[in-house]
Chain A
Amino acid sequence: MVILVLTPERDTDEAVERVKGEKDLLVLYVIEEELPESVGSWLMYAGFLGENPSLEVKRIIVDELERRAHERLEEIKKKLGDVEAVIEKGVLQEIMEKYCREKRPERFVIPKGEKIKTECKIEEV
């Protein structure tokens, strides 16, 4: 199995092209909660907004990222055929480790960015 990993920040057509033709393919879209977390907590930690509006801002950002992820996966399905696609929220490193343990993929394909280390092979595109 090959797992194509995408995030809002690491998402290129080149990576999608690279996995074209793979028979056993999973597209894993990771919504990293770091940004909404940091915006929401900054607004509250610095003291600008109360709990409710801060959490609301954070929730809206996460929802928006999820909406965009769904749209992107639809687009990818049109390109690659009816592949299995999953959306996960959390820390990219931890999620890839989890998928490495559970799915034992032949390799991950991911657009270039911050280095990720797992026991499984990672191909950066």
Chain B
Amino acid sequence: MLERIKKAILCLGVLLFIFFLTSPIHEISTPANRSLGLFFLTFSLWLTRYLPLSVTGLLVFALIPLLGILPLSESYSLFGNRAIFFILGSFILAGGLMKTGLSRRIAFHIISKFASSGRNLILGVFWTGAVLSFFMPEHAAAAILFPIVIEMAGILKLRPKESLFSRFLFLSLAWGCVIGGIGTLLGGARAPLAIGMLEENFGIRISFLRWSMYAMPVSIGGLLAGTLILTLALRDTPEVSSFKEKAKEELKGMGRLKRDERVVLFVYILTLTGWIFFNRWIDISLIAILSSSLLFLFRGITWKDVERWVNWGIILMYAGAMALGVSLVRSGAAAYISQRYFFSLAKTPFTTLAVFSLLSLVLTEGMSNVATVALLLPVVYGLPFDPVLLTLCITIPGGLALCLPMGTPPNAIAFSSGYYELRFSIKFGVMLTFILYLILLLVGRFYWPLLGVEVW
């Protein structure tokens, strides 16, 4: 059934691609028509994943000049956007955190502090996922937490789908990583990609700290809402002292910080300091690259480690997403689509926030976060409102896939444990998504204007 739907979506994408090659819309140029065709083809490929996401990204680079949308050199130059280099550097840093085991140590430390009761233990998993995702990609945070939570389930003798406790233990892992992931530029590539597109199209730069100031209140609001749901839902929880003992043993076994862990920790602190305090003088992408070089210099990590722990292919997807977005805007296709089809829905900045953030929340459940952002951002960039608001209203909700396993890797990893059913994650995920939507609207209405975003 799912396979049939996927095939239908792909066929539709290919047909629309061919249709737009004939320049059916006379009000816009031939390159704009073709960029729309490419948009539908890419959309269908990202949604169905018939090709690896990275290969689709690469295909975009080939088709943009081939279809005459942008000149070859201009198309390739988008690969050199600073957002791509920021992502590259931050991936190496995250690889260092994972490889040295420092992230596992941090996770155990935080969780063991919460292990006073069953409910607190779940809150510990939830908040640990969030804290890790403030500093590293959310999928990496989920991969680190997953073995710990599985171990926890074994020690506590939990059974799949047996109780609310066992279900929420795994769902909280996914939720924590996803909600924490929107807080900073490090939680996922969508935010660096979005600020890269903002700069390419409008020449507006957003710093690491500035982005966190925009996004963190939504993240913290979501974490508090998640805490409330978990606290109210979990009434009877098992005794968890056996895990507390195990965590103590584990931490004891890890011993003191090893040399490579100290190196990674030092470089990470240095990098964060640079991103927060020195980004006026040194670009965040330069800081990311210099820091990752420091890791090698101090022998905190080797290139082989990086190759094993980081999937470089995905960089191609990010670059392809960037190129697609820019070609839609520069060719005039994005402005045409948004004015023609969406302006009636989004007459004011606030209704734009309300409508497009909802659309982004729905789309991101079915496809990769980055793909959602890459496909919706160019469309909203055609609207005559503050480009920062437009970037925020797509990018922040674009990271909040809380219901379906295909939405984002943390959900897929947690769901693969078999400890909860799909309907369980949909039921509670929809509830939390709705609350997060309201939080986003409140933050957008009352807080973002204080930071200079034009919401009215």
Contact = CB atoms under 8 A, between A and B. Distances in A.
The answer to whether A and B assemble together is yes
B154 A67 contact: yes
Contact of A43 (B139, B153, B160, B310): B139
Interface string A39-76: 10011111111111110110011011101100000000
B417 interface: yes
A67 B317 CA distance: 38
A68 B49 CA distance: 32
Chain A interface, >50% SS class: helix
Interface string B379-412: 0000000000000000000000000000001001
B140 A64 contact: no
Contact-residue size bin, chain A (C-beta under 8 Å from the other chain) = 20 to 34
Contacts of B308: 50-52
Nearest to B143: A53
Interface string B282-314: 000000000000000000000000011111011
B413 interface: yes
A50 to B, nearest CB: 4
Interface string B184-217: 0000000000000000000000000000000000
B52 interface: yes
A53 to B, nearest CB: 4
Contacts of B54: 47
Contacts of A67: 154
B317 A47 contact: yes
A64 B409 contact: no
Contacts of A36: 416
B139 A49 contact: yes
A43 B147 CA distance: 16
B150 interface: yes
A50 B139 contact: no
A90 interface: no
A8 B418 CA distance: 9
B132 to A, nearest CB: 13
5 contacts: A39-B413, A39-B416, A43-B139, A43-B409, A64-B154
